[in-house]
Amino acid sequence: MTVLYTLGSVVLVSALSLLGIIFFLFEEKSIHKVLLYFVSLSTGALLGDVFIHIIPEMMNDPTTIKRNLIILLGGILFSFILEKLIHWRHCHVLPSVHHHHPMGLVNVVAESIHNFIDGLAIAAAFLASIPVGISTSLAIVFHEIPHEVGNVAILLHSGFPKKKALLFNMLSAAAAIVGAVVVLLFAAASDVLSSAMLPFAAGNLLYIAGSDLIPELHKESRLPQSLLQLLCIVAGMFIMYGVKVFEG
């Protein structure tokens, strides 16, 4: 049952890459007006998932609390190192006749790694318990909705045709399935690995919320929009709390 829930969830998350098709239907300017509010909602959902679902699950065994917190910090550091490596690979030469900017392809590679980690997080959460897996999947879904639309926007900006941009985005999203399968295969053979993956995933999710999403929200400084962002963050947290209450 755990395997079915995990694979179903990562397939759903991967399918969100198809959201880029809205660029075929609406103007890009209209889409970007609402993206930041989805980012706000996903920020609250990720933070709520970590503090309401994952950390309490990690605390069930008093003998492993210290170890789990160290692994959580390791998850944050891992995400930092990974993102730093990706930034080092970015091209800083201006586009010209003799030099085409590889931003689009770099983004595909970066997103493949990011989605691979999402798959790790989902599988690790389901190995802990099905309710934690569901809440983590839900948090990642909220996170991926604006993310996938933004990815297609970057590819289009890099010169990809619409159909090719959608295809490359779908391929990078499929890395979540690979990440989940890796965890299911190796964690099944090791109880130690299985128990370590949950705090590691928590560190990844905290890093995404704190390093990637919140700085993006600070780009909007107007008061009405900032208050609406705050309400969306709180709404994301309340959704995670509601899932916890529903679990009973």
Neighbours of 95 (CB within 10 A): 13
Q: Is 202 left (phi over 0), alpha (psi -120 to 50) or beta?
A: alpha
pLDDT tens sequence across 24-79? 777 767 776 777 888 898 899 999 999 999 899 888 888 889 999 999 999 999 88
**Using 50, 70 and 90 to split pLDDT, how confident is the model at 174?**
very high
pLDDT, mean of residues 13-22: 85
pLDDT at 177 over 90: yes
Residue 178 neighbours by CB under 8 Å, 6+ apart: 116, 119
Q: What is the pLDDT of residue 222?
A: 92
pLDDT given at position 92: 39
DSSP annotation of 188:
T
Assess contact for 197 and 72: CB atoms under 8 A. no
Instruction: Determine the pLDDT at residue 154.
Output: 67
Q: For the chain, how far is it from start to end, CA to CA, in angstroms?
A: 20
In sign, the C-alpha dihedral spanning 113, 239, 8, 6 is positive
CA distances 29 to 41, 91, 159, 243, Å, are 20, 27, 18, 34
Question: What's the Cα-to-Cα distance from 133 to each of 2, 72, 95, 119, rounded to whole Å?
Answer: 9, 17, 44, 11
- pTM of the predicted model, to two decimals? 0.76
Polymer length in residues for the chain: 248
Mean pLDDT of the chain: 82
For 180-198, the pLDDT digits (tens) are 999 888 876 666 777 788 8
- Radius of gyration for the chain, computed over Cα atoms and rounded to the nearest angstrom: 18
Burial of 55-67, coded b for 16+ CB within 10 Å and e otherwise, reads bebbeeeeeeeee
What are the structural domain ranges in the chain?
2-17+27-90+103-247
CB 178 within 8 Å of CB 119: yes
Contact present, 91 and 106 (Cβ < 8 Å): yes
pLDDT recorded at residue 122: 93
